[in-house]
Amino acid sequence: MRLPSVAIGLCVALLPLCLGAQSPAKELSDAAPPQRPDAAVAAVVEPGAATFELKLRLDPELHDPGPARRQPRPLFGRGDQLDGREARDFTLRGAAELRRGGTVIRADRLTYYEADDEVIAIGNVRIAREGQVFTGPQLQLKLDAGTGGFDNPRFSLPLTGGRGSASRIDFKGDGQVDMSDAVYTSCRPEDPDWYLKADTLSLDEASDEGVGKSARLVFMGVPILGSPVFSFPLGDQRRSGVLAPTLSLTSTTGGEIRVPYYWDIAPNRDFTFLPMLMARRGLQLGGIGRYLEPTYYGETSFEYLYNDRETGTTRWLLNSTHTLTNWNGWSAGWLLRGVSDDNYFVDFSRTILASSERSLPRIAYAARSFGEWTFQARALQYQNILDARAAPPYNRLPQLLLSTVRRDQLGFDYGLLSDASWFSRDLPGSPEGGRFIVNPWVSRPFGGPGWFVVPRASLNATYYRLDVNPSGPTDINRTLPTLSLDSGLVMERSTRFRERDLIQTLEPRLFYAYTPYKDQNQIPVFDSAQNDLNFSTLFTENIFSGGDRIANANQLTPGLISRLIDPNTGADLLRMGVAQRLYFEPQLVTLPGVPSRTASRSDVILAAAGDVGGGHSFDAGMTFSLNPADVPRLNAAWRWWPSDVRLLNLAARYRALDYAQIDLSWRWPVARRWSALGRINYSVLRKQLNTTTGAIQAVDPELLEGVAGFEYSADCWITRFVVQRFVTAQGQQTTGFFVQLELSGLARIGLDPLDILRRSIPGYRIPSQRPAPPSRFYGYE
């Protein structure tokens, strides 16, 4: 039989199935699982068919089980010419193609033997199987069994961007592939800069893993690594195994080498073992364990150095968090942080943020709701190190909270907060004891689409029962009412800016608060501090945080905000605001050592933020003093991000007698494939207030943190050279040097600076980072 055609569609050897297949309704009815209490029931009615119930089982997660293995499955083919013998075999010639399930085979000539379910493909053979592509001169394959062989093939793994070749490929079935004399790379095939050569290479789709034996890694023609056995992922699934080693060099630890091991315990649990050998300190053991359950989750990390060669002591660090979301109605958790000694962060921290930590919290809590009421019990204790020992924060052992909030009760909102706490700290002469607060409040919101008015009244009743109080009696009562009125308008209009249709808003706001004066000088200060003056605190009733000070208030805060909004997305393109607080009486309630306010007006708060186009964006805020004219506080940041490889950040942070910093960071091309990376965070402060003594002292300008480096990005590999220097304590700095080679789709080798670059250069992204494919159908033909 000879049937020439341009394209011939085939349904081969499946006529009995095609003609005798069950109807979908019958198949679903027979396959329906037993009904469960949580099953949804749907009735399906077709003309001439009986009514039946389709039972749907609920499942809390989405599954992707892979292609169904039902037998038999239809085979489709096409080609320029067809020869064959009925029920035995057929041959397609010229642009030949066979397709079954997720397998597509193309070749100059394809012969299919029905009895063996076998295909022989000759000439320009190409086979695509669930995202993997193989090409070569000749293929023998049993389709449904997935077994066969391929001579002198090349392969491509679109999911990882890898490709390679082999002298022979054997398909073992169930997604298993064995290769002989295999070469793997993610570079362009004509002249790869790096490749991995192995005597044997096995790919297993089920475990999503590739395993090679007798392998060597060649970079720029030079062998740099060798291993009798190695493995690598075929996708993004987690798996246990040794991770790429990392090296580093710092001034406090010397040379370091870390060989992590990742243990994929379960889909919701894992552990990363992090042993590190330091030339100057010795062997440090560390690890990070994570778990995620339906009602609780957490993470614990630790570092342990048995005998520090520099200090001769055992040193350790512990960070542990746990959150229980629902256990018989209770939620609970803890946060535990601790180090072995005062200088741990000075010697081992990798960032200026970590080295600046002084008070490490240990918190445990439990909470439960009882109808409209919520109860919470907490315990808070600190480990204080270095200069925090001179003025440590108070421990709370325990703190009991009971609160309720009711909304829209006959138009009213009301609530109550009660707080019972016991305060103590390890500092001679400090007041210690219990404090009990009851704070009921009620408000009546009024409003419409473009306006709101919210009057509010609250009462703060506080009782102190102290064991020690050097400044006054041990039993103290304080009861103070507070009245406030918050109001505002939201006006809009259509406008155009740079040929764009936008919405501009004008949002004036008035906030008034009144609290009578009561002498509080004999009350100790456990947790109160004066709030920073900003847009959030200007529209609050009390200028102090915490529960120990309630300021006398007779004040009005006018404010104005204007925004430019994109009507298509609702995003703010530009936001500007101004506000100031007006005082109608002097400040009489103060904190020890903090002078009272004498002006009748606060500083003016100015803020602006937006995206002005061309990759430019900014975010700025400042306080401006009218008498005398001064800027006591300023925070301004500007970013220019014209493309993924061009990024420039500039920021200034200033607070009188506290800090004054210039922060510049960048990632910028300097030559073909070369980019400069860096950050300069420099303090220009010359006078600083000592918060412990209250005296103003002279300080010298200094580099707080500096990062400088280069990044070279080729088509399939990246190398980075980075130097970092940052302050760890007064008069002490740490310097680190990092060199890293990243082979795309394989591993990162060397000193790892990525965490430093991400933190130091806001907006920095790894050039080779690719979004995860949405599903296993990525690359499907």
Nearest to 645 by CA among 610, 674, 665, 608: 674
Over range 136-164, report the average pLDDT: 83
Q: What is the pLDDT of residues 667-724, one digit of tens each?
A: 999 999 999 999 999 999 998 877 666 688 888 999 999 999 999 998 889 999 999 9
- How much is the pTM? 0.76
What secondary structure letter does DSSP report for 153? -
Distance from C-alpha of 390 to C-alpha of 429, rounded to nearest angstrom: 12
Task: Say whether both 229 and 117 belong to one domain.
Answer: no
Own/partner contacts of 99-104, CB < 8 Å, gap of 24 or more, are: 99/75, 100/73, 100/74, 100/75, 100/76, 100/143, 100/144, 101/67, 101/73, 102/67, 102/129, 102/130, 102/780, 103/127, 103/128, 103/129, 103/143, 104/128, 104/129, 104/781
4 and 82 in a single domain? The answer is yes
pLDDT-based confidence at 533, cuts 50/70/90?
Answer: confident
Domain co-membership, 684 together with 777: yes
Is the pLDDT at 12 greater than 80? The verdict is: no
Residues 118 and 233 in one domain: no
Lowest pLDDT segment from 95-109, 224-238, 366-380, 408-422: 224-238
Are both 27 and 112 inside the same structural domain? yes
If asked whether residues 692 and 764 sit together in one domain, one would say yes
User: Which residues lie below 8 Å from residue 180, measured CB to CB, with a gap of 6+?
Assistant: 166, 167, 168, 169, 199, 200
What does the pLDDT look like over 470-529, one tens digit per residue? 888 999 999 999 999 999 999 999 998 878 899 999 999 999 999 999 999 999 999 999
| Contact present, 718 and 752 (Cβ < 8 Å) | no
End-to-end CA distance of the chain: 31
Whether residue 157 is found in the same domain as residue 122: no
Give me 756's structure tokens. 């430093």
Q: What is the percent of the chain with per-residue pLDDT over 90, rounded to a whole number?
A: 49
Q: Comparing C-alpha atoms, which of 155, 161, 267, 65 is closest to residue 771?
A: 161
Number of domains forming the structure of the chain:
3
Least confident of 44-58, 70-84, 249-263: 44-58
Q: Please compute the mean of the pLDDT values over residues 288-317 and round it to a whole number.
A: 95
pLDDT of residue 350: 81
Q: What is the mean pLDDT of residues 284-306?
A: 95
The DSSP string of 535-565 is HHHHTSS-SEESSS----EEEEEEEEEEEEE
What's the mean pLDDT in 638-645?
A: 91
Residue-averaged pLDDT of the chain: 85
Q: Per-residue confidence at 25, pLDDT binned at 50, 70, 90?
A: very low
726 contacts 705 by C-beta, under 8 angstroms: yes
pLDDT band at residue 240 using 50, 70 and 90 as cut-offs: confident
Is 367 a member of any domain?
Answer: no
Answer yes or no: are the C-beta atoms of 535 and 569 closer than 8 Å.
Answer: no
**Rounded mean pLDDT, 232-255:** 79
The answer on 747 and 670 residing in a single domain is yes
Looking at the structure, tell me whether residues 685 and 767 fall in a common domain.
yes
**Residues 660, 761 within the same domain:** yes
Of 421-425, 534-538, 650-654, give the lowest mean pLDDT range.
534-538
Strand extents, DSSP E, 580-673: 582-583, 604-613, 616-626, 629-643, 646-655, 659-671
pLDDT bin (cut points 50, 70, 90) of residue 57 is low
- Domain containing residue 212: 152-237
Nearest 10 degrees: Cα torsion 151, 153, 157, 158:
-130
- State the pLDDT at residue 330: 93
Residue 176 lies in a domain: yes
Any idea which of 319-323, 345-349, 407-411, 745-749 has the lowest mean pLDDT? 745-749
Q: How far apart are CA 628 and CA 237, in angstroms?
A: 62
DSSP reduced 3-state for 469: coil
Instruction: From 567, 672, 576, 667, select the one nearest 619 (Cα to Cα).
Output: 576
Last residue of a domain, one of 206, 237, 268: 237
Same domain, 672 and 759: yes
**Which tokens sit at 427?**
């500092």
Q: Is residue 549 pLDDT above 80, yes or no?
A: yes
Whether 578 contacts 605, CB under 8 Å: yes
DSSP string, 564-599: EE-TTT--EEEEEEEE--EESS------TT-PPP--
- 47: in domain: yes
What CATH number is given to the structural domain containing 87? Answer: 2.60.450
For the ranges 263-267, 282-286, 463-467, 746-750, the lowest mean pLDDT is seen at 746-750
Query: Within a domain: residue 56?
Result: yes
Q: Do residues 170 and 75 share a domain?
A: no
Q: Name the band, by pLDDT with cuts 50, 70 and 90, for residue 781.
A: low
Q: What does the longest C-alpha to C-alpha distance in the chain come to?
A: 112
Question: Would residue 267 count as lying in a domain?
Answer: no
CA distances from 689 to 223, 233, 529, 659, 698 (A): 59, 55, 16, 10, 9
Q: Which of 254-263, 412-421, 721-730, 738-747 has the lowest mean pLDDT?
A: 738-747
Kindly tell me if the per-residue pLDDT of 359 is higher than 60.
yes
**β-pair type (103-113, 118-129):** antiparallel
Q: Given a cut of 70, is residue 207 above it in pLDDT?
A: yes
pLDDT of residue 446: 96
Is pLDDT of 600 > 50? Answer: yes
Judge contact between 61 and 76, C-beta under 8 A. Answer: no
Q: Which amino acid is at 111?
A: T
d(CA 84, CA 106): 18
The answer on pLDDT for 40 being more than 50 is: no
Whether residue 320 lies inside any domain: the answer is no
Which carries the bigger pLDDT value, residue 57 or residue 752?
752
Residue 208 forms part of a structural domain:
yes
Query: Looking at 188, 217, 237, which one is the last position of a domain?
Result: 237
Torsion angle of alpha carbons 14, 20, 22, 23, nearest 10°?
A: 100
Residue 202 has pLDDT above 60, yes or no: yes
pLDDT at 58: 61
Average pLDDT in the 355-384 region? Answer: 94
Give the end of a domain, one of 222, 237, 252. Answer: 237
In a domain, 499, yes or no: no
Give me the half-sphere count of Cα atoms (radius 13 Å) on the Cβ side of residue 630: 9
pLDDT (0 to 100) of residue 54 = 58
